[in-house]
Structure 1
Amino acid sequence: MSLAIEETFPKIEIMQNASLSDYTNTDTGGPADWLAFPTTVEETQQLVKFAKNNQLAITIIGNASNLIVRDSGIEGLVIILTKMNTIEVSENKIIAQAGAALITASEIARDASLSGLEFAAGIPGSVGGAVFMNAGAYGGEISQVVVAATLLNSDGEVITLNADELDFGYRHSSIQSDGGVILAATFSLVSGDRATIKFKMDDFNARRADKQPLEWPSCGSVFKRPAGFYAGKLIHDAGLQGYTSGGAQVSKKHAGFIINIGEGTATDYLNVIKHVQDTVFRQFQVHLEIEVRVIGR
């Protein structure tokens, strides 16, 4: 089957049994049966159609910054969209392909004196991933600036959904339940003063560097904010900072992060997550729901 995929798509980079730890921000994750890096919408369409016709499971990944891939890897075809990364400015709009880095989109907006994406200055995900989960920080969310997203639907058709159709909520979009491959997003911004925009972005990044363990591999903030509480404070108050299983550790710098302190595995991460959830529930009767996606066999 690998040979058939490579023969069918000789211009697309495709690998067999490729370790996903090379592509995740946690430096963990087992192998993908097949891993492909399309560079165009047409190549993505062709790969999805091929997989469907050959009954191969399909998994779409962006920058893998908010993702835990189980150690047993992922069955079927994994498509990483980071080579689809063009970003265009059109008047007060930013049109970015799904694989573009959200940080880069915020920087291009800054350079065009467009305000609205400052909150995204330090979010390490892709545009597609950010739309998929309605990423946010420092009081801003993707839902506040996205006006449309281009998708590849289950029938292989390219469609456009407006913001209302994306049904955004806290770390939620309709794509999580309805499916589809995000290909691009359009952000509507407002004209602003470049120096002011830069100052705000620099301030956010300084605060992030001061409070978050950016020097270690991690999948970012692990848990959603429970109603009436802050996940990090609950974890801190439970005395869990520094708790370690294998190579995964609850950060001593920010309790909401789990870091890879060396040779950590996805299983280590999941063990830490479960211990944190069990301990916080036992002490405070609050269930911590994970914000990260856990995928794989």
Structure 2
Amino acid sequence: MTTQTIVQQFPNITILTNEPLSHYTYTKTGGPADFLAFPTSKEEVQSLINFCQKSGLEWICLGNASNLIVRDGGIKDVVIMLTQMKQVIVQDTTIIAESGAKLIDVTYDALKHDLTGLEFACGIPGSIGGAAYMNAGAYGGELADIFYSADVILEDGSIKTFYKEDMAFSYRHSIIQTLKGIVLSVTFHLEKGKHTAIKEKMDELTYLRESKQPLEYPSCGSVFKRPEGYFTGKLIQDAGLQGHMIGGAQISEKHAGFIVNINKATATDYITLIQYIQDVILDKFNVSLETEVRIIGRK
């Protein structure tokens, strides 16, 4: 497949070739995508996937590339980013948000319309699609609490609506992780609330996030899932690892559950440090740390 062919096939879609994904990931690491496409509608996503199927090209969707690490070898064939699909519609107590909308922005749309239920997400940096994919949560709330349905394009190019009972939600998990599909939009059911109370809760959670998390550096957010009966950050602190560096990647001195890029880190630095943390915690405490962050791409 030549560059000219795929670009000619989709003249209305922005498609970049050999594009460094470090320009887009929240860690500021990652090798190039052979083709990086920015569709603006579900029809364009569907066309891209059908074209890949017919042409024998692999494809993957990155959402807004917040909670993932792309290996330094980059990603083969077609990468789809949905950052241009960000429309949000509010109807009474229902919010319908396209997959590329930022979760934080949608929480402020809810605030504007005096809708309560999304306050927990006011500091989560991911996209709506990514939030549904991993059942994003914080401060005692999670997406499953207010989720109604999602339109998902499947591997064969068909579009299916998944309702809450279809999603198999659990801690940082949804059924979308076991399918090769792309969340196109999500519908939330919220409740009417008092504007001042909603804003106070959001301000409180924003303060907690800013005071505890290393927002001044690039990072992929929380690296590990919380092991049952433990707090990941405390395990890492108790192991004496806080501040440990490999290359330009460091276990944050502000929050041990984060790995930050403090000096031109590579994806390999990140991955090596993650594996080192897992090995030390298993050896010292017999606790297996499972990554929350996705690690994808060519080695």
- Pairwise TM-score range, normalised by the shorter structure: over 0.9
How far apart, in 2, do the equivalents of 1:163 and 1:178 lie? 16
Shift, 1:156, TM fit: 1.1
Residue of structure 2 equivalent to 1:243: 244
Residue of structure 2 equivalent to 1:84: 85
1:63/1:124 contact within 8 Å kept: no
Residue of structure 1 equivalent to 2:68: 67
Shift, 1:280, TM fit: 0.9
Shift, 1:178, TM fit: 2.0
One-letter amino acid of the counterpart of residue 296, structure 1: G
Residue of structure 2 equivalent to 1:15: 16
1:98/1:185 contact within 8 Å kept: yes
Residue of structure 1 equivalent to 2:108: 107
SS at match of 1:288: coil
SS at match of 2:122: helix
Matched, 1:36 2:37: yes
Shift, 1:158, TM fit: 1.7
How far apart, in 1, do the equivalents of 2:200 and 2:56 lie? 50
1:148/1:186 contact within 8 Å kept: yes
Sequence identity (%): 53
Matched, 1:189 2:157: no
One-letter amino acid of the counterpart of residue 177, structure 2: Q
How far apart, in 2, do the equivalents of 1:157 and 1:221 lie? 33
One-letter amino acid of the counterpart of residue 288, structure 1: L
How far apart, in 2, do the equivalents of 1:243 and 1:55 lie? 43
SS at match of 2:289: coil
Residue of structure 2 equivalent to 1:231: 232
Matched, 1:291 2:292: yes
SS at match of 1:159: strand
How far apart, in 2, do the equivalents of 1:258 and 1:295 lie? 17
Residue of structure 1 equivalent to 2:143: 142
Residue of structure 2 equivalent to 1:278: 279
Residue of structure 2 equivalent to 1:47: 48
One-letter amino acid of the counterpart of residue 109, structure 1: A
How far apart, in 1, do the equivalents of 2:170 and 2:56 lie? 32
How far apart, in 1, do the equivalents of 2:210 and 2:29 lie? 23
Matched, 1:152 2:153: yes
1:33/1:75 contact within 8 Å kept: yes
One-letter amino acid of the counterpart of residue 204, structure 1: L
How far apart, in 2, do the equivalents of 1:194 and 1:55 lie? 51
2:71/2:297 contact within 8 Å kept: yes
Runs of 4+ in structure 1 off by over 6 angstroms are none
Shift, 1:63, TM fit: 1.4
Shift, 1:154, TM fit: 2.1
SS at match of 1:61: strand
SS at match of 1:169: coil
RMSD over aligned Cα atoms:
0.6
One-letter amino acid of the counterpart of residue 141, structure 1: E
One-letter amino acid of the counterpart of residue 206, structure 1: Y
Shift, 1:155, TM fit: 2.2
Q: Aligned runs of 1:215-230 on 2, under 5 Å?
A: 215-230=216-231
How far apart, in 2, do the equivalents of 1:173 and 1:221 lie? 18
How far apart, in 2, do the equivalents of 1:38 and 1:178 lie? 21
How far apart, in 2, do the equivalents of 1:65 and 1:154 lie? 23
One-letter amino acid of the counterpart of residue 192, structure 1: G
CA deviation profile, 1:59-101 (whole Å, cap 9, x unmatched): 1011111000000000110000010000000110110000000
2:21/2:74 contact within 8 Å kept: yes
Q: TM-score, structure 1 length as denominator?
A: 0.99
Residue of structure 2 equivalent to 1:269: 270
Gaps of 5+ in 2: none
Shift, 1:179, TM fit: 2.3
Residue of structure 1 equivalent to 2:212: 211
One-letter amino acid of the counterpart of residue 243, structure 1: H
How far apart, in 1, do the equivalents of 2:245 and 2:177 lie? 31
Shift, 1:159, TM fit: 1.4
How far apart, in 2, do the equivalents of 1:256 and 1:155 lie? 38
Q: Aligned runs of 1:114-133 on 2, under 5 Å?
A: 114-133=115-134
How far apart, in 1, do the equivalents of 2:220 and 2:79 lie? 19
Shift, 1:157, TM fit: 1.6
SS at match of 1:122: coil
Shift, 1:276, TM fit: 0.6
SS at match of 2:234: helix
One-letter amino acid of the counterpart of residue 267, structure 1: T
How far apart, in 2, do the equivalents of 1:118 and 1:179 lie? 30
